[in-house]
Amino acid sequence: MKQIAIVICNYNYERFLAEAIDSALAQDYPGTRVIVIDDGSTDGSRAIIGQYGSRVKAVFKENGGQVSAYNLGVEIADTEYVIFLDSDDVLYPGAVSEVMRKFEEGDLAKVQFRLDVIDEAGKQTGAHVPHTEPPVDCGRLLRDGWLYPSPPASGNAYSVRALKAVFPVPEGGINRYGADFYAIYGAALVGPVATLTLSLGAYRVHHTATPSVSFANSEQIKKAPKAFKERWVTLREIAKERLDLELPPAFHDFAHEKAYFGSSLYHASLSARWRWMLHDSRAYLHTIVANPFWGLKKKAGTLFLSCLCLLPYSPLSDFVVRYITNPLARRSTAGQ
């Protein structure tokens, strides 16, 4: 039987950690191992990990950031496959079995699956990620500069062989965080990606009570686009040096461009909204019109909604920006 490791990278998430570990231990696939890497937590995380004894492999390290934890996880994983589970997320009991059945179908670098979105208390929000299913040959589109639709870190299972072709990744600076960027897109440069169109886990989004344009947990909406650009530069270097692949200087990604869209238009004046649309929206519109993962209906709908931001009624504009940028805003509005 092929083996898979669930690697939980934790830093100061004691209030969620036990739930994540329990979900990993509850998997019904017999060849599942659980590794918990604590990245220098200063809360009660290490005591929680200690309570599991030999049921998990515990690794305690000095704080170095998420990339350093991933580097170590890839290094010590002695299984064929691995899932990096964020310590505030959970896997459903049959997740690994579903993933392993998919891996048996071919020589895949990654199997990704949908994640239900939960709030900080663990309550289902009714949303899920991702919303679009990518083609199997994500690598071809990635080599053309298109970042393919992917769930966050916990919704991906990897061939360890594929990850070892990309990792270790340089640590420090912008690379203290964002390790899943290199895993998600690096793996697609090594081999095919398969998608399971069912929810096999839950992704916890913090601070969901107030309507916002921000959806990601790890970085503020104004910082994330810059971080993505810097990580793309690093991924290009890794691809060239280790895989002998030449990636384009710039990438295209709607999720990236809508961060600019949201931070530029939310609560902006009418003149500022028109100015952005006339002078700064080229990349944003390109990721809609030329998007290889979307159908005509979704492209037309997104363009129509984006144009509503140009109407002289700021409450409508702010609603549309939230609707486009944050899936939770759509659900909360529908429930009112």
Structure tokens at 203: 């992704």
Is the pLDDT score of 240 beyond 60?
yes
Kindly report the average pLDDT of the chain as a whole number.
Answer: 92
Q: Which helix (H) or strand (E) holds 149?
A: none
Is the pLDDT score of 333 beyond 70?
no
Q: What is the pLDDT of residues 55-105, one digit of tens each?
A: 999 999 999 999 999 999 999 999 999 999 999 999 999 999 999 999 999
Task: Give the model's pLDDT for residue 131.
Answer: 83
Cα 302 to Cα 72: distance, rounded to the nearest angstrom: 41
Residue 57 DSSP SS3: strand
- Burial status of residue 83 (CB atoms within 10 A of its CB: 0-12, 13-18, 19 or more): buried
Task: Give the model's pLDDT for residue 226.
Answer: 79
Residue 297 DSSP SS3: helix
Is the pLDDT score of 215 beyond 60?
no
**84-99 burial, b for 16+ CB within 10 Å, e for fewer?**
bbbbbbbbbeebbebb
Mean pLDDT of 24-49: 98
Q: Which helix (H) or strand (E) holds 174?
A: none
Mean pLDDT of 159-184: 94
- For CA atoms 40, 34, 78, 245, the dihedral sign is negative
Is the pLDDT score of 196 beyond 70?
yes
- Which residue is listed with tokens 């979900």? 23
Could you give all domains of the chain from N- to C-terminal order, each with its CATH number? Answer: 4-236 (3.90.550.10), 254-334 (no CATH)
Q: Which residues pair with 36 in a beta bridge?
A: 8, 58
**Taking a C-beta distance cutoff of 8 angstroms, is the pair 156, 179 a contact?**
no
Q: What is the pLDDT of residues 290-326, one digit of tens each?
A: 999 999 999 999 999 999 999 999 999 999 999 998 8
Cα 300 to Cα 321: distance, rounded to the nearest angstrom: 16
**Taking a C-beta distance cutoff of 8 angstroms, is the pair 21, 56 a contact?**
yes
- CA nearest 89: which of 11, 8, 33, 27? 8
Q: pTM of the predicted model, to two decimals?
A: 0.92
- Burial status of residue 279 (CB atoms within 10 A of its CB: 0-12, 13-18, 19 or more): exposed
Cα 170 to Cα 66: distance, rounded to the nearest angstrom: 11
- Which residue is listed with tokens 């890839």? 74
Is the pLDDT score of 211 beyond 60?
no
- CA nearest 190: which of 89, 74, 288, 72? 74
Mean pLDDT of 164-172: 95
**Taking a C-beta distance cutoff of 8 angstroms, is the pair 92, 174 a contact?**
no
CA 88 to chain CA centroid, nearest Å: 13
Which parts of 162-284 are beta strand (E)?
193-204
Cα 58 to Cα 56: distance, rounded to the nearest angstrom: 6
Structure tokens at 92: 């459903």
Task: Give the model's pLDDT for residue 221.
Answer: 52
φ/ψ bin of 207: left (φ > 0), alpha (ψ from -120 to 50), beta (otherwise)? left
Cα 294 to Cα 299: distance, rounded to the nearest angstrom: 7
What pLDDT band is residue 212 in, cutting at 50, 70 and 90? low
Task: Give the model's pLDDT for residue 135.
Answer: 84
What pLDDT band is residue 214 in, cutting at 50, 70 and 90? low
% of the chain exceeding 90 in pLDDT: 83
Is the pLDDT score of 21 beyond 90?
yes
- For CA atoms 258, 264, 269, 271, the dihedral sign is negative
Q: What is the pLDDT of residues 262-290, one digit of tens each?
A: 999 999 999 999 999 999 999 999 999 99
What pLDDT band is residue 219 in, cutting at 50, 70 and 90? very low
Lowest mean pLDDT across 74-88, 119-133, 141-155, 300-314:
119-133
